[in-house]
Amino acid sequence: MKADTNESKIFKVSRRDFVKTTSMSISGLLLGISFSCSDTAKKLSGNPEYVFSPNLFITLNGNGDVTLIAHRSEMGTGIRTSLPLIMADEMEADWNRVKVVQAVGDEKYGDQNTDGSYSVRMFFTPLRKAGATVRLLLEQAAAKEWDVDVSECKAKNHEVVHSSGKTLGFGLLAEKAAALPMPEESSVKLKEPKDFKYISKQSSIVDLKDIVTGKAKFGFDNNHLPNTKIAVVKRNPEPGAGLKSFIADNAVKVPGVIKVFTLDAPGFPTTLNKPLGGVVVVAENTWAALEGRKALDVTWNKGMNADYDTKSYNNAMLKSVKTKGKVRRENGQVDKALASAKKIIEADYVVPLLSHTPMETPCALAHVHDNACEVWAPVQDPQGVRKSLAEALGMDLKNVTVNITLLGGAFGRKSKPDFVVEAALISRTMGTPIKILWTREDDIQHDFYHFPSAQHIKVGIDENNKVTSWLHRSAFPPIDGTSNANAKEASGAELSMGMIDLPYAIENVCCETQEAEAKIRIGWLRSVANIHHAYAVGCTLDEVAKARGVDPVQNMLDLLGDDRTIDFNSLTSEFWNYSEKLEDFPWSTARFRHVIETAKEKSNWGKSLPKGSGQGFAAHRSFLTYVACVVEVAVDANNKIRIPKVDYVVDCGVPVNPERIKAQFEGGAAFAASLALKSEITVSNGAVQQSNFHNYQVGRMSDSPYETAVHIIESNEKPTGVGEPPVPPFIPALCNAIYAATGKRVRQLPVRLA
Amino acid sequence: MATYQLNVNGANREVEAVPNTPLLWVLRDNLNLTGTKYGCGVAQCGACTVHLDGTAVRSCSLPVSAIGNKKVTTIEGLSSGENLHPVQQAWMDENVPQCGYCQTGQIMSAAALIEKNQTPSDSDIEEAMSGNICRCGTYERIRKAIKKASNAAAK
């Protein structure tokens, strides 16, 4: 990674460099700093009300109730369940006695930036230790009470059992445990995996009943502050360009409209944190705010991207990848090998701008008063939000409180705090609590989009039918371009998502990039640059298989070569292993091969299918998780594509919550199908041309897989995330299936067969 | 502003609103019934689905002035106490929700479907649910849950 710049820094530090620099301190955070019984235990009157808070994350009451802190944001992955489950398991708590409480945004909890499929990977071991330490304290407390050796005492399902059979409940032990000295970390023994009670077992999410009964609180559902007003903002279609003039006469006449005023535009690049500015309408209720905004007469400034047009921009990128670019990985001599190749496979791939469109649009409740700010918002990065609010309001961090609601989907959009800052600035002006609503039009037209990209891949096969050369060129504006006008080159991290991490045993490899400038806000979308890279690489491999006359699965195994761990650092200086050291999370071709072979078997690969149907295959490692995917499609006479069956094989190390892993893969397939088949953002004269679901189409039930089988590899390897890894291999597997069904190659997304 | 007498979840509620206010915002802003969600405002996504005399409608595009004395049922009124509606129970049994945001609208559409058709085919389900978007992609489980609920309802 190159040096961080500008306002994007707070995000990059927390997203990508956190583990590198501070993984050592996570356990310290949980066990050392705040793990001080005598200081944090609060004595209350009466034993049942005793509150034992041995660390930041776990509280045991004298009545036996356990409160576990969920410090990562729940956007649908089930993390609010899975992380507390880890603690409960090690603690031997009864899950039915556990209440989960969402933490506010605070550095004391360690990293809270819920993205990058990090949560389980980063917190599995520290939270196990936290739970196991409490278990040991309770066992020690029981041993002391019975005057026996602690080795005779075992915590089991919310009580400590002595070898004689006598028991003491956790609640009764709370006060006694609190009086004990903190055990040495070395004396804390983690469970053997075979003894896991909740980890790797079936479990429902803690919010399930609230969700199905409508009680669950999302970002726009907080009506608890008296005198809350509603705000909407009209923004320049060209991001950052700002306002020339406006007439509010008709807007203020709308019944319920209270005030119309402006927010400054940030210019371009906008940064990841700052609101886009515009004309604010504050009203007594949501409809009045929307009607008031409709009645505004606004003239916008033209900015530096007023002529941005995606058609010509994408064509220019496509042209650029036809010529030699900046070398980012080079092994052997690609040019020479290509020149002597017997067969050449060569193709270009284009992926459009894509929008996140979570079902819940950006929204927040903010209350700025008495030099303090409190917000309730659906955010992925509450600490980043807190810092951004403190900076925008000129407040001390300690005066800013960020409460995290449930997120109605996010996919990366809600890792940016712009909409929360907007609400807070409006609340400051109004002196009342403000709920801000982004309409769907606001969301689709002012997103932080997935990069538009063009790629060129050229592969050489020699006279022995061996793949000897691989040239891959990629052009897309880096996310850093949203903050830094000089950032025109994809970062090593972005290229390590499916390009320079090419794992195949090919003698001559060259990966090159061409510069591209951000003309609109670019941001992370579920699986990030893996989306376009895995698509191009996965489709190319299918073409290589065809050219070699080899089955696509066998082709991939041939290219993968012997089982080994790949030292990518020796292949390119820019390799990024999702913030982990290669020695901690090696790139194992054996694990990759195993998911590929298992997918072949489980999917009944190569089965006979009727005309118009086909199977496609792809495999990809992203976020340290190994995934193979077989997609079956059926294409009818009207070119309607149906997906009757998907088979995924996933190796994510220890599967912490298999039920939610399956859910992530089912949903990931639908999300990827939606991206590939339906969605495209285009820009003309600097303005996004789509506005709502009628013209920014997303997958509905009939577009989505009918059945997704998820086969999870049993493993004791360190767990890795599953939020993003389902997406990358799905798209090439789908496109390869379309080829098998129709004979048509898909070299541009979204898929257009007609 | 005008005054409307609405029948919401079996109770008479008096609300003040301008006549073209969508029912969605009356439910959420006036009555604090926040289980009904905003998703698009133009009847494209189904997050705001409620029942009007038992029929699934998109409350974001239904002016309050058009309700009259029709009975409005929201997710909060679909069941009471511990007794969940068969669709809600099936949603729990199948662990349908991911983020959960669209699910109240999905459940309302599904409940209206099985009220009319207790043995819906795949294509019946696809048609009835085509107006409800889920970006988490829970469609497979929605289909399973509807089948489960319709079997339960048929018993």
Are residue A110 and residue A235 in the same domain, yes or no? no
Residue span of the structural domain in which B46 resides: 2-77
Distance of CA B71 to the CA centre of its chain: 13
Residue span of the structural domain in which A103 resides: 6-212
Distance in angstroms (rounded) separating the CA atoms of residues A725 and A625 = 6
Interchain contact B138–A (C-beta under 8 A): yes
Does the residue A689 lie in any domain?
yes
Are residue B64 and residue B99 in the same domain, yes or no? no
Residues of B (25-64) whose Cβ lies below 8 Å from A: 25, 28-30, 32-42, 44-45, 47
Are residue B73 and residue B91 in the same domain, yes or no? no
Are residue A257 and residue A162 in the same domain, yes or no? no
Number of domains in chain B: 2
Residue A32: predicted pLDDT = 34
b/e burial code for range A287-323 (CB count within 10 A of at least 16 → b): bbbbbbbebbebebeebebeebebeebbeebbebbee
Last residue of a domain, one of A385, A402, A437: A437
Are residue A350 and residue A374 in the same domain, yes or no? no
Are residue A18 and residue A119 in the same domain, yes or no? yes
- Whether A420 contacts A364, CB under 8 Å: yes
Distance in angstroms (rounded) separating the CA atoms of residues A633 and A301 = 47
SS3 A53: coil
A318-324 long-range CB contacts below 8 Å, 24 or more apart?
Answer: A318/A348, A318/A350, A318/A454, A318/A475, A320/A454, A320/A475, A320/A514, A320/A515, A320/A516, A321/A348, A321/A454, A321/A455, A321/A456, A321/A473, A321/A474, A321/A475, A321/A514, A322/A348, A322/A456, A323/A514, A324/A512
DSSP state of A576: -
A582: enclosing H helix or E strand: none
Q: What is the pTM for the complete model shown?
A: 0.95
Last residue of a domain, one of B77, B108, B132: B77
Are residue B110 and residue B147 in the same domain, yes or no? yes
Q: Cβ of B137 and A668 within 8 Å?
A: yes
Number of domains in chain A: 3
Are residue B71 and residue B96 in the same domain, yes or no? no
Question: At B148, which CATH number?
Answer: 1.10.150.120
- Nearest CA to B88 out of B112, B108, B116 is that of B108
Q: Cβ of B140 and A408 within 8 Å?
A: no
Residue B80: predicted pLDDT = 85
Q: Cβ of A693 and B44 within 8 Å?
A: yes
Does the residue A223 lie in any domain?
no
* Closest CB to A212 among B22, B29, B103: B103
B28-31 long-range CB contacts below 8 Å, 24 or more apart?
Answer: B28/A220, B28/A286, B29/A230, B29/A285, B29/A286, B29/A287, B30/A285
Are residue A680 and residue A697 in the same domain, yes or no? yes
Are residue A145 and residue A171 in the same domain, yes or no? yes
Question: At B44, which CATH number?
Answer: 3.10.20.30
Residues on chain A touching B19 (C-beta within 8 angstroms)? none
SS3 A345: strand
SS3 A746: coil
pLDDT average per 10 residues of sequence, chain A (754 residues)? 33 34 37 35 52 92 96 96 96 97 96 93 95 97 97 98 97 95 94 95 92 98 97 98 97 98 97 97 98 98 97 98 98 98 98 98 97 98 98 98 98 98 98 98 98 98 98 98 96 98 98 98 98 98 98 98 98 97 98 98 97 98 98 97 98 96 98 98 98 98 98 97 98 98 98 93
Question: For A643-711, what is the HEC assignment?
Answer: EEEEEEEEECCCCCCHHHHHHHHHHHHHHHHHHHHCCCECEECCEECCCCCCCCCCCCHHHCCCEEEEE
Residues on chain B touching A230 (C-beta within 8 angstroms)? 29
Amino acid identity of residue A292, one-letter, is G
SS3 A253: helix
B41-99 pLDDT per residue, tens: 999 999 999 999 999 999 999 999 999 999 999 999 999 878 999 999 999 999 999 99
Residue A198: predicted pLDDT = 96
Does the residue A91 lie in any domain?
yes
Residue A754: predicted pLDDT = 83
Amino acid identity of residue A334, one-letter, is V
Q: Cβ of B138 and A221 within 8 Å?
A: no
Are residue A506 and residue A401 in the same domain, yes or no? no
Are residue A493 and residue A433 in the same domain, yes or no? no
* Interface A-B: count of C-beta contacts within 8 A: 189
- Whether A544 contacts A565, CB under 8 Å: no
Q: Cβ of A699 and B137 within 8 Å?
A: yes
